[in-house]
A and B are shown apart, each in its own frame.
Chain A
């Protein structure tokens, strides 16, 4: 269970404080693969970063008793001058992976980077980068994976593989994802949270959520 309790979050701008959430309380249900839907600037990424503990609310608290991944976006934590392998080790160490060598092998296999794994990430195409980022997170045993638009860059084959991996893990793991591509969302998710004007609404049925979102 992830719960937000009285969360207030704002950013300071030249025009005063811009509130994303005001005194928001919400429980994110477990056991669902959830898509977060909302228009641009509604605060999807902010919500994501709050859930992951990358940022902290100005007031209130986020409680979470699950093993939750970092928000897996294209470039998080990946240094362009380091090789795929070195980046993998770095991420593994930070997250406390027990067997780093085994983890390296898994990521290499899953991301299908072959010998490119030993080259600096700056030489990678965007598809390769997203594969590496996604593989780094899926190869770790998390309870919840936070996926931020990463899958949209991979090709059809990789998407199939990613979905397969998530399905295999779906007995004890879930995904929360942000994407503007409805096909991606339908592929990975079964329910939705619509984010509108600082309010969250959970829809058990994905299609209903998408309809509500498109009607906004």
Chain B
């Protein structure tokens, strides 16, 4: 008989998240195109869109090549949207696994979030590699800040998705409005424009949105000439802290009820 180890709660967590993560990878890339497609497809999509936009515009947007400008926006908004949806879906999708008392909803959400993070890191590397081979200019003057913004945005998306996933267990209709709510984000988060394109008196319409902050700050971190106008890393960090705190509190209060329905 196979004996089982006495594990600390932390040990159980680690094992479970690893098992779920491995399962996510295994099931996520099940067809013949496999793991490559998850990276090639978004890279191509982002590349083509950015390229077309770069062509139309011809040159530079606020001091940085339009292609790079677009690429940052696209990678980050995709990171937000997909992590958000993965986080929101995770609990419902893996409901059967809660039969194992070791598997708790938060591990499921974390595992699918980590999976998205892994894919997004490879997509970013893929973009960089493609630009290198096509001899496009790419400058990264402050990679540490860049990584911080990227990671902040990821955490923000995951915790927001987590909150939605928890609410959806009680009010299933949330699923339906979720798409309706996230679609506009593609257009108001500064993917296609910069906050600098707008007159200052209208900024309040846009600058409540932490995704916009993350995108603009990333561009600035890569190209200091772009300028940091109207956005602040403090605001981004506060949004991340707030959303993470909120999702963990809701989870702590409701998770036992949530899986017992």
A and B bind: yes
Cβ of B1 under 8 Å from chain A: yes
Instruction: Report B-chain residues with C-beta under 8 Å of the C-beta of A53.
Output: 101
Among the stretches B91-99, B114-122, B159-167, B234-242, the one at the interface with A is B91-99
Shortest Cβ distance from residue A134 to the other chain B in the assembled complex, whole angstroms: 14
Q: Which of B7, B27, B257 contacts A81 (CB 8 A)?
A: B27
- Report A172 CB to chain B, min CB distance, Å: 10
Binds B, one of A95-103, A194-202, A203-211: A95-103
Q: Which of A11, A49, A139 has the most chain B CB within a 10 Å cutoff?
A: A49
**Interface: A161 (CB within 8 A):** no
Q: Which residues of A contact B99 (CB under 8 A)?
A: 49, 52, 54, 70-71, 73, 76-77
The contact of B27 among A11, A82, A141, by CB within 8 Å, is A82
- Spot the interface stretch: B10-18, B36-44, B81-89, B221-229: B10-18
> In the complex, are the beta carbons of A94 and B27 less than 8 A apart?
no
In the docked arrangement, what's the CA distance between A67 and B34, Å? Answer: 39
The answer to the question of A79 belonging to the interface, with a C-beta cut-off of 8 Å to chain B, is yes
B4 at the interface (CB under 8 A from A): yes
Instruction: Say if the beta carbon of A23 comes within 8 Å of chain B.
Output: no
Q: Which of B4, B100, B101 contacts A98 (CB 8 A)?
A: B4
For A95, the chain B residues whose CB sits under 8 A away are 4, 100, 102
Is residue A93 contacting chain B, with contact meaning CB distance below 8 A?
A: yes
Whether the Cβ atoms of B2 and A97 lie closer than 8 Å is yes
- Asked whether B261 is an interface residue with its Cβ less than 8 Å from the other chain, the reply is yes
Nearest chain A CB to B115 CB, angstrom units: 15
Q: Which residue of the partner chain B has the closest CB to A80?
A: B27
Could you tell me if B15 and A70 are in contact, using CB atoms closer than 8 angstroms? no
Q: List B contacts of A67 (CB < 8 A).
A: 4
Task: Judge whether B106 is part of the interface by a CB distance below 8 angstroms.
Answer: no
> Within 8 Å of chain A (Cβ to Cβ): is B5?
yes
The CA of A102 and the CA of B19, in the complex, are separated in Å by 17
Interface size class of B (residues with CB under 8 A): 20 to 34
B30 at the interface (CB under 8 A from A): yes
Q: How far is the CB of A147 from chain B (nearest CB, A)?
A: 13
List, in ascending order, chain B residues with CB within 8 A of A76's CB.
Answer: 96, 99-100
| Residues of chain B lying within 8 A (CB to CB) of residue A71 | 99
Tell me if B55 is interfacial: C-beta within 8 Å of chain A.
no
| Total cross-chain contacts (CB, 8 A) | 94
Does chain B have a CB within 8 A of A118? Answer: no
Contact A77 B2 (CB under 8 A): no
For A55, give its contact among B4, B12, B100, B260 (CB under 8 Å): B260
A77 touches which one: B5, B22, B97, B261 (CB < 8 A)?
A: B97
Answer yes or no: B252 CB below 8 A from chain A CBs. Answer: no
| B216 nearest CB across to chain A (Å) | 41
Contact partner of B100 among A70, A102, A103, CB < 8 A? A70
* Nearest B residue (CB) for A10: B260
CA distance A140 to B3 in the complex (A): 6
Say yes or no: is B26 at the interface (Cβ < 8 Å to chain A): yes
| In the complex, chain B residues 121-170 whose Cβ is within 8 Å of any chain A Cβ | none
A91: B residues at CB distance < 8 A:
100
B100 x A139 contact (CB < 8 A): no
B2 touches A106 (CB 8 A): yes
Binary B-proximity of A56-84 (CB < 8 A = 1, otherwise 0): 10100000000100110101110101100
- Contact check, A98 vs B5: say whether CB atoms are below 8 A apart: yes
B62 within 8 A of A: no
Task: Please report the C-alpha to C-alpha distance between residue A139 and residue B3 in the assembled complex, in whole angstroms.
Answer: 9
Q: In the bound complex, how far is the Cα of B98 from the Cα of A76, in angstroms?
A: 9
Closest 4 CB pairs of A and B: A53-B101, A93-B19, A103-B2, A56-B256
User: Footprint of B on A, CB under 8 Å?
Assistant: 11-12, 49, 52-56, 58, 67, 70-71, 73, 75-77, 79, 81-82, 86, 89-99, 102-103, 106, 139-141, 169
Interface residues of B (CB under 8 A from A): 1-5, 7, 11-12, 15-16, 18-19, 22-23, 26-27, 30, 96-103, 256-257, 259-261
21 contacts between A and B (CB under 8 A): A54-B259, A55-B98, A58-B260, A70-B99, A76-B96, A76-B100, A77-B97, A82-B23, A89-B19, A90-B22, A90-B23, A93-B16, A93-B18, A94-B19, A98-B2, A98-B3, A102-B2, A139-B2, A140-B2, A140-B4, A141-B2
